[in-house]
Amino acid sequence: MKPRPIRPSDFKSPLIPDQVIEAFNELIAEKFNNNSAIITIDDAKNRIVLKMEIDYDEINMNWLNVERIYREVGWKVHFDHACAADDYESYYVFKKQQI
């Protein structure tokens, strides 16, 4: 068989635990307003702590890189990373893709 280039879809993010996806799914469902859901980074971390029964400081920050996973299934995802000078919290916006 002839080798083929690896595709981005070949990567399934095995480093992100199932409980993290469950946490984001729950938050999207709770905050969805017929068009989008806005989830703060603290909301996500707090839900992950509850789901995984871990301490806040045990969260691996790479677990929060869920944007690609949700884009692959049809969401438009934007993450706004607040800088130290900003007076708001980092957040995700999950929107329905327009067909």
The pLDDT of residue 53 is 97
Over the chain (99 residues), the average pLDDT of each successive run of 10 is 76 79 97 96 98 96 94 95 89 88
Which domains are assigned to the chain? 16-96 (1.10.10)
Q: Give burial (CB, 10 Å; 0-12/13-18/19+) of 27.
A: buried
The pLDDT of residue 36 is 96
- Verdict on whether the full-model pTM lies above 0.85: no
The pLDDT of residue 24 is 97
DSSP H helices, the chain, are 18-31, 41-52, 67-72
Tokens 């944007």 sit on residue: 67
The pLDDT of residue 85 is 86
Going through 36-98 in order, the beta strands assigned E by DSSP cover 36-40, 75-80, 91-96
